[in-house]
Structure 1
Amino acid sequence: MKNEYTMNKQFVVFKLEQQYYGVDIQIVQIIERMKSIMRVPKASACIKGVMNLRGEIIPVVDMRTKFGLEARAYDEDTRIIIVKIDEDMIGIIVDQVKEVIELSSEQIETVPNMQDKTNANHVQGVGKLKEEDMIVTLLNLGTIIEEAFEV
């Protein structure tokens, strides 16, 4: 008898333009509405600045800029997802947070032949939700954030 052990993982799904992205819920600390962000001189374009969250100064990355999307005004759906990568707290600005989903290993596929190899490091896989006919790009947020702070 074959013993198949599949572990389900949960992801926070957010939206940029019309595309859905997911990040592992284990690194998500809190989701905030837009707050005041202070610009940091000479920071790269995708680093929006820093914010004060309950006395802690947190750098904030604009995911639209990081992904090369056209800038748009923040609205009531715009959120800052605070994540913890290694020991660092970082905020990422997204157009909208949709939901938390659970995916089994059967629902996650790798994307082997991506054209741009640098972007291939940004993607862990693609999650497929049959009931909603939705595809969620699962991000390797650690690599994306690390790249954002390289000078």
Structure 2
Amino acid sequence: MGEEIKVIVFALAEEEYGVEVEQVRTIERMQPMTRVPKTPDFVKGVINLRGVVTPVIDLRGRFGFQESEYTDSTRIIIVSVKDIEVGLIVDSANDVIDVDTDNIDDPPEIVGGIKAKYLRGIAKVNDTRLLILLNLEEVLNKNEIIQLENLEE
């Protein structure tokens, strides 16, 4: 057995994804956002989270999926990447599970239309579930992170 990592499982367009717990600050319900001009469409705006202005992006839009109406189960997962906090809008956040690093395979070139660079790997869970692990540093690529840093000022 390899080491185990704790992963937060969330749903997006009928698929299950995961991000490592260490990268997650909090999971919030949907809330009103302030739009920011001259940002990509998937940047939905900023929220004031306990006194911290946090940019929020819609992961469906980021990955080129059709965006959907927000529901009662829609969540904003607040993640921290390179000292920047960003909210990720997901369809629902379901679970925290342990994943054995030996059960994580390299991602294929494209999974469900998402380029491999956005993915850390595919985790096999209990032989019945596949979980797509995100590489948050790529999901929020450097140019966008710089743009998002500027939003915080």
Gaps of 5+ in 2: 148-153
Distance in 1 between the 2:41 and 2:75 partners? Answer: 19
TM-score, normalised to structure 1, is 0.88
Q: 2:50: which partner in 1? A: 54
Q: 1:102: which partner in 2? A: 98
Displacement of 1:22: 0.5
Q: 1:83 aligns with which of 61, 75, 79?
A: 79
| 1:33 correspondence with 2:29 | yes
Identity over aligned pairs, percent: 34
Secondary structure class of the residue paired with 2:140: helix
Distance in 1 between the 2:132 and 2:110 partners? Answer: 15
> Which amino acid is the alignment partner of residue 110 of structure 1?
D
Gaps of 5+ in 1: none
| 1:144 correspondence with 2:139 | yes
**Which whole-Å deviations, capped at 9, do the CAs of 1:99-131 have from their partners, x for residues lacking one?**
0111112221112x4159x82211111011126
Q: 1:119: which partner in 2? A: 115
**Which whole-Å deviations, capped at 9, do the CAs of 1:67-124 have from their partners, x for residues lacking one?**
111121111000000011111111000000010111112221112x4159x8221111
Displacement of 1:25: 0.7
Q: Which runs of 4+ in 1 moved over 2 A?
A: none
Displacement of 1:147: 5.7
User: Residues 9 and 16 (structure 1 numbering): CA distance in 2 closer, same or farther, change over 3 Å?
Assistant: same
Secondary structure class of the residue paired with 2:115: helix
| 1:134 correspondence with 2:135 | no
Larger radius of gyration: 1
TM-score, normalised to structure 2, is 0.87
Give the number of aligned pairs.
144
